[in-house]
Amino acid sequence: MVKLIKEVSAQDKILLAAKNVFLAKGMAGARMQDIADEAGINKALLHYYFRDKKKLFEMIYEEAAAQLFPKINFIFESEAPLFEKIEKFVEEYITMLLVNPFLPLFVLNEINQEPQYFQKKFWGKNKPKPEKFLKQIEKEVKQGTIRPIQPVHLLMNMISMTIFPFIAKPLFQINMALNDEQFRSAMESRKKEIPKFIIESIRK
Amino acid sequence: MVKLIKEVSAQDKILLAAKNVFLAKGMAGARMQDIADEAGINKALLHYYFRDKKKLFEMIYEEAAAQLFPKINFIFESEAPLFEKIEKFVEEYITMLLVNPFLPLFVLNEINQEPQYFQKKFWGKNKPKPEKFLKQIEKEVKQGTIRPIQPVHLLMNMISMTIFPFIAKPLFQINMALNDEQFRSAMESRKKEIPKFIIESIRK
DNA sequence: GTCTATAACTCGATAGAC
DNA sequence: GTCTATCGAGTTATAGAC
């Protein structure tokens, strides 16, 4: 029989299922049975494609980290003016987090579990180098374009305001009585609100 | 023999050990054996004092949540002027987080695992009510004391900038090459930097 | 490649001596 | 109250049929 609709390979089904389960429950909380169920196959097949749980987990972990960090790098490396970089960073990050809301908590958790593993694995040639971005801030301060501020704090503030609401999503939702759509809409408006908040604070 | 130095009860040793292990590894990742080792006793004794793992975990979870939230409530309920509240919130929170750096990631993780449990357990009579604080912001906007800003964003920004760096501690440390002392010192200076950053942004 | 059955092991929990 | 020994449920991982 000719397949008109391309079928998803077992391997891809597993990877997708593993992503869902690991992101929701973490390495320790996830069960191979959960992943098999989610993928609609049996446990044995998981081991056929990926030798053991650790290996499967690492595929997902690396994919997640790869999704989270290169965008930062791009901002760090670009030659754009400061305010433009800030706007772009916040905009792109929130767009991505709206699609992958569990990514930050998952990755930060696993970094906290094994900082050395993370450092070895992801801090090779592709490591984000914030120096350039920090120097740019320093330069603007010296030129008097923005008020005096320690570059590190500005960077932390920008990243914190962008990512944290997704980590604390259920807390904010319960606390402020927001349903999913209201939360999504609030994050959407933060794409403009955060850069504005920052720029109002630092520009002269 | 008269005990001149008061000995720590087994129960207290267990609670302290359980706190360390659960905060570091979460409910799913923690092992009763780890807790027993950390406390310097054996597993059986854990079950003697606390029937099962879940019960022991809940003691720690409740203690952690109780440490994290009442401070927020205090700020929400107080009658102080807006800027003063912001300064106080940031200052007190960072002081507490420097002593308990793992608290936020632990609590946010478990909230994400079981939002309903959290809601039932901690959203009873003592639930933080941000309405008053949000109304206060709204009022200041109307009076023209601060620039127009949606109260929810201001609240999210303040909380995010205060808490997130502790959640992302290893990430920031690796990325910016900060040792523990340098990180502590950076957080210490954020007690002033964050309120300044906010106030510069919103005051007219 | 995919499945069923089961081995091998981890871990929470209990029994029972002291 | 505290310990050693062990049970039994739940999980990862493998064997082997198809």
CB contact under 8 A, B112 and A128: no
Query: What integer pLDDT is reported at residue B72 of this predicted model?
Result: 81
Query: What integer pLDDT is reported at residue A156 of this predicted model?
Result: 98
The reply to whether the CB atom of residue B25 sits less than 7 A from any atom in nucleic acid chain C is no
The reply to whether the CB atom of residue A48 sits less than 7 A from any atom in nucleic acid chain C is yes
User: Can you tell me the distance from the alpha carbon of A11 to that of A137, in angstroms, rounded to the nearest whole number?
Assistant: 46
Which 4-43 residues of chain A approach strand C with CB closer than 7 Å?
10, 41-43
SS3 A8: coil
At A164-192, the pLDDT tens digits run 999 999 999 999 999 999 999 999 999 99
SS3 A146: strand
Interatomic CA–C1' length for residue A52 and nucleotide D5, angstroms: 32
User: Can you tell me the distance from the alpha carbon of B3 to that of B9, in angstroms, rounded to the nearest whole number?
Assistant: 13
A115 interaction partners in chain B (CB closer than 8 Å):
170, 173-174
Query: What integer pLDDT is reported at residue A76 of this predicted model?
Result: 83
SS3 A203: strand
Interatomic CA–C1' length for residue A175 and nucleotide D11, angstroms: 37
Share of chain A above pLDDT 70, in %: 96
Structure tokens at B34: 């780890």
Interatomic CA–C1' length for residue A25 and nucleotide C4, angstroms: 28
Whether the pLDDT of residue B100 is over 80: the answer is yes
Strand-pair partners of A203: A146
Whether the pLDDT of residue B103 is over 80: the answer is yes
Are B165 and B190 a contacting pair, CB within 8 Å?
yes
Query: What integer pLDDT is reported at residue A74 of this predicted model?
Result: 81
Query: What integer pLDDT is reported at residue B36 of this predicted model?
Result: 98
Q: What is the 3-state secondary structure (H, E, C) of chain B?
A: CCCCCCCCCHHHHHHHHHHHHHHHHHHHHCCHHHHHHHHCCCHHHHHHHCCCHHHHHHHHHHHHHHHHCHHHHHHHHCCCCHHHHHHHHHHHHHHHHHHCCCHHHHHHHHHHHCHHHHHHHHCCCCCCCCHHHHHHHHHHHHHCCECCCCHHHHHHHHHHHHHHHHHCHHHHHHHHCCCHHHHHHHHHHHHHHHHHHHHHHHEC
Q: Which nucleotide's C1' is closest to B34 (Cα)?
A: C11
Q: What is the torsion angle, in degrees rounded to the nearest 10, for the CA atoms of residue A119, residue A124, residue A126 and residue A132?
A: 80
CB contact under 8 A, B159 and A150: no
For strand D, give the nucleotides within 7 A of a protein CB: 1-5, 11-16
At B109-159, the pLDDT tens digits run 999 999 999 998 887 766 778 899 999 999 999 999 999 999 999 999 999
At A20-58, the pLDDT tens digits run 999 999 999 999 999 999 999 999 999 999 999 999 999
Share of chain B above pLDDT 70, in %: 96
CB contact under 8 A, A123 and B164: no
CB contact under 8 A, B193 and A163: no
Count of H helices and E strands in chain A? 12, 0
At A126-162, the pLDDT tens digits run 677 889 999 999 999 999 999 999 999 999 999 999 9
Listed residue (A33, A88, A40) closest to A198, CA to CA: A88
CA distance A21 to chain B (A): 12
CB contact under 8 A, B164 and A164: yes
* Nearest residue in A to B196, CA atom: A201
Residue A112 has its nearest CB partner, among B105, B130, B202, at B105
A112 interaction partners in chain B (CB closer than 8 Å):
102, 105, 169-170
CB contact under 8 A, A200 and B202: yes
Q: Which amino acid does the sequence have at B55? A: K
Are B157 and B198 a contacting pair, CB within 8 Å?
yes
